[in-house]
Structure formats: C-alpha cells, structure tokens
Amino acid sequence: MSTSANTAAAVNPNVFDVGSLTALKRQLKDGDPKALKAAAQQFEALFLQMVLKSMRDATPREGLFDSDQSRMYESLLDQQMAQVLGAKSGGTGLAAMIEKQLLRQNPEPQLFDGPLPLHPAAPNFLLPRQRGSLPLSRDTAPALIPLQNVPEASLSAVPSAPTIAPGTATDTQRAFVDRLLPAAVSAERTTGIPAHFMVAQAALETGWGKAELRRADGSPSFNVFGIKAGRNWQGPVVEATTTEYVAGVAQKQVERFRAYGSYAEAFDDYSSLLSANPRYAGVLGAQDASSFARGLQRAGYATDPMYAAKLERIIGGTTLRQMLAG
C-alpha cells in the first residue's frame, strides 16, 4: 500500500480500524509530512469524543434499557461520531490550528549548497604533531531542539554570515583559520573544548571571516562568536542586523554586539561566558561534534533551529580538515 493510501486509512472514520492508528504512528516516526495532518485530525476526534462523553455524563440515566452494556455501545457510538465529525471537511477547525502550530515549531529543514549530504560522517583525523591531536567524532547526527528564550546577555549567531559548503579550502578561509587558531588553542586549555570546534563555530558565525562584525569606522571588532552586549557589558559595542527565530519564524533585528581589541580577547570572553553560565556545563569539555553542537543549541546559544546541524557540518567537512591537516 502506498504512503498516501496509508495516511488516508489512518484517518478513516472507523472506530474499529486499529491498524490505521498503527500505520499513522509509523508514518510519523518516518517523518511523513502528510501524517501530521492525520495526527491533528485524530486529536480533534479525541477532543470531540471527550465532549460527547461529558454530555452523556450530564444526562440523567434512568430507564429500562439503562445498563452497563448499553453504556458500552453508547461509548462506541460516541467514538464513531467523533471520528466522522473530525474527518469531515474542516471539522471544527481544531485540527487545522494544531497542524499549523506543529508546522511552525517544526519548519522544513533548510537545504545547504553543495553536493554533499546534510549530515556527512565526520572521520577522525589528526593535526600535525606540532599543533596537537584533534580527533573528530563520527557521531554527527544532529537533532532539532525546541526553541528557547535567550536572555539579553546570552550569545547569538550573526545571521548575515553565509554558510560555506565543505570543499576545497580557499586562501581567504586558510587566512581566517590561521588568524584564529592560536587563540583557539589557548581557549582549549581553559574550556576543554577542542580548538577546531571553536574555529568551526567562528566560521559559521562569520562565513569564514567574510561577515565579521566591524565598528562604525570599518575596523574589526574581533567578535567572531556573535556575542551580544547585554546590560552588564561595559566595553565598546557595534551594531549589526541579525536574524532571530521567533516561534520558528525568521525576523530581522538590529542588535548590539560586544567589540574586542583582539581575537585572543574575544576567545577569552567566549571562554568566560561558557564557564560562568551553568547552562553550558554540558558544552565544556565536549570531545565530539554532536555533543558540542547540540549542547550549544540546547542551552539557547542561537535561535536558528538548524544551528547545530550547520555547525556539525562544518566540523566534519573537508574544508576545515584540509586546512588543519595541511
């Protein structure tokens, strides 16, 4: 039976059709978008059944035919009526509202440029001996994390930075990594986070340096992690337009970001923020790409629902690997 036929059977208004519910559960696990509408209709039917039951309970039960058996058949009738009402065109409108809300919370995955798959395997590799050993984990499967409200003083991605697909490293990318690697190695001693994880995050935030935040006079701010300037920040700031996701919807906003005197100062502040905030306890010392990326998104580092997936892709991509191994 085809997927569409299974989905149609899942909402067939037949209270005795247990197999259709089993098929619906399987389609939801497989990520079938059509099953989302069917699940919303099933929820509406359940709600209508509860309404009918409440009406039955409020009706006096006296008479010759009032018995446990009659009440059982009334219950089956109510279930069947709820299924039929929920499956009719439009129903009560509850299913449509549920489906709309679920779609907002689980937007379609964003496709990346380039021929490589969205979640490539991240093979282990070693840097030259003079730079130290930086193993990458093979477990790079990302997860969509429910959006969290990010406090004002928390961290946020700079959305104007384009995502670079893994491939042959350019001279600009090599120069970017060379500028940041010494500060990243120093921050690794403080946080326990592998240096190339932090370089990859800076590449995601800035598009490999092409969209670094700059001051009004054009000089660099060295803020490669998109760290916002909260109320307690006393240092210099820069303003930039950023994209924040509110209830799954991308919105352009002008935000104030911290400015530093060097990359070393930026990495030191990044290390301090992660070390001082208990939300990032699971990120400190993370030795595989999945734990690091998921931990950041789970803690509310960025509102982009695809942030962890993008970060894992850069960590496991050939672009960064070529530069670190070369």
- Residue recorded with tokens 């039976």: 1
Q: Where are the beta strands (DSSP E) in the chain?
A: 237-246, 249-258
Q: Can you give the pLDDT at residue 158? A: 45
Coil vs helix vs strand at 146: coil
Q: How far apart are CA 251 and CA 272, in angstroms?
A: 29
Contact (Cβ atoms closer than 8 angstroms) between residue 10 and residue 27: yes
Q: Give the CA dihedral 197, 203, 206, 209, nearest 10 degrees.
A: 130
CA separation, residue 78 to residues 47, 52, 64 (Å): 11, 6, 21
Q: What is the CA radius of gyration of the chain?
A: 26
Of 17, 74, 244, 268, the active-site residue reads 244
- Residue recorded with tokens 């109320």: 231
Coil vs helix vs strand at 72: helix
Q: Can you give the pLDDT at residue 91? A: 67
Contact (Cβ atoms closer than 8 angstroms) between residue 127 and residue 324: yes
Displacement of CA 126 from its chain's centroid (Å): 29
Q: Can you give the pLDDT at residue 262? A: 95
Active site residue 244: yes
CA separation, residue 44 to residues 28, 85, 90, 137 (Å): 17, 9, 11, 44
Neighbours of 279 (CB within 10 A): 16
- What is the dihedral sign for C-alpha 207, 211, 213, 218? positive
Helix (H) or strand (E) holding 44: helix 33-57
pTM of the predicted model as reported, rounded to 2 decimal places: 0.51
Q: How far apart are CA 126 and CA 257, in angstroms?
A: 35
Q: How far apart are CA 187 and CA 264, in angstroms?
A: 8
Q: Where are the beta strands (DSSP E) in 147-295?
A: 237-246, 249-258
Structure tokens at 47: 């709600």
Closest CA to 200 of 326, 317, 322, 325: 317
Contact (Cβ atoms closer than 8 angstroms) between residue 107 and residue 305: yes
Of 269, 288, 304, 312, the active-site residue reads 269
CA separation, residue 282 to residues 65, 252, 295, 297 (Å): 63, 30, 6, 11
Q: How far apart are CA 299 and CA 281, in angstroms?
A: 9
Architecture of domain 129-325: Orthogonal Bundle (1.10)
pLDDT in tens, the chain (326 residues): 444 444 444 445 565 565 665 666 666 555 556 666 777 777 777 777 777 777 777 777 666 667 777 777 777 777 777 777 766 656 677 777 777 766 665 554 444 444 444 444 444 444 444 444 444 444 444 443 343 444 434 444 444 444 444 456 788 999 999 999 999 999 999 899 999 999 999 999 999 999 999 999 999 999 999 999 988 899 999 999 888 887 777 888 888 999 999 999 999 999 999 999 999 998 988 899 999 999 999 999 988 889 999 999 999 888 888 887 76
Q: Mention every residue, 6+ apart, whose C-beta is less than 8 A from residue 219.
A: none
Q: Where are the domains of the chain?
A: 3-105, 129-325
Q: Mention every residue, 6+ apart, whose C-beta is less than 8 A from residue 148.
A: 298, 299, 300, 303
Active site residue 17: no
